[in-house]
Amino acid sequence: MNKTLVVSALSAALLLAGCQSVNTTSGGAVGVERKQYMFSMLSSQEVDQMYAQSYQKTVGEATTAGVLDKTSTDAKRIQAIANRLIAQAPNFRPDSAQWKWEVNLIKSDELNANCGPGGKIIFYTGLIDSLKLTDDEIAAVMGHEIAHALREHGREAMSKAYGMEMAKQGAGALFGLGKDRLALADTVANYGMTLPNSRSNENEADLIGLELAARAGYNPNAAITLWNKMSKASEGSPPEFMSTHPASTSRIASLQAAIPKVMPLYEKAPKS
């Protein structure tokens, strides 16, 4: 057999052995049950730590620039909505009750929001102001982002990035991984964290986010008005959020189909 093929086959075999099948969350009323494959030498704790460092850098830079908003009405809205959603996260993932959740609002025209691994949430005022978001619509955005963190979509993307990097470096990289693991993590972190999510990951975040919002007492129908606003905003120069969260008729149709599943949860939930 060709030497290159032998190395490639060995790399593939070792990569397969290095992956573990997990299901990061329970299915919930919306039924998200897909098995995920994570690189076993890339732990949840390691990913959380890497992202926490990046998050603190962003918050620190915003503080220095005088754009970190802790006192406005919107800052208080964001914190209150986050508190209600975070309280529901253990329904999907019990260990999230021990996460070190953080919520920050940054004054910027940027139309963006995210929740990174370990529960690190950032909202930008541009998203709220430009789209004139209601509390229910903010909850739809935030629930979606929290769902990405609960499902560890960032770690999943990084696991794939590890595999691609190792395939390029060959089997030798795998044997030396113990020593160079953190260096390789630095190489793939930005790649794994900044790529647009796959269609299946986006659908999972939509569904889990919908249920989180409903359980927290926010009207799930707001997800439809939210994405209609997003679609309209992307007609000109697409906002940053839309580069990784493209709106589509299929997305809205999937949400509409799931709303009857979560409406009973919303009807039973306290509304404040």
Indicate which residues carry an active-site annotation: 145
Using an 8 Å Cβ cutoff, are 106 and 75 in contact?
no
Distances (CA, A) of 204 to 11, 149, 153, 198: 30, 11, 10, 10
Q: What b/e readout covers 166-178, taking b as 16+ CB neighbours within 10 angstroms?
A: bbebebebbeebe
Residue among 219, 222, 217 nearest 270 (CA) = 217
Using an 8 Å Cβ cutoff, are 19 and 36 in contact?
no
Phi and psi at residue 120, to the nearest 5°: -100, 105
Q: Tokens 């509409």, residue?
A: 256
DSSP 64-120: HTT-EESSSHHHHHHHHHHHHHHHHGGGT-GGGGGS--EEEEE--S---EEEETTTE
Using an 8 Å Cβ cutoff, are 104 and 68 in contact?
yes
Distance CA 269, CA 215 (A): 6
The alpha-carbon radius of gyration of the chain (Å, integer) is 20
Distance CA 226, CA 247 (A): 10
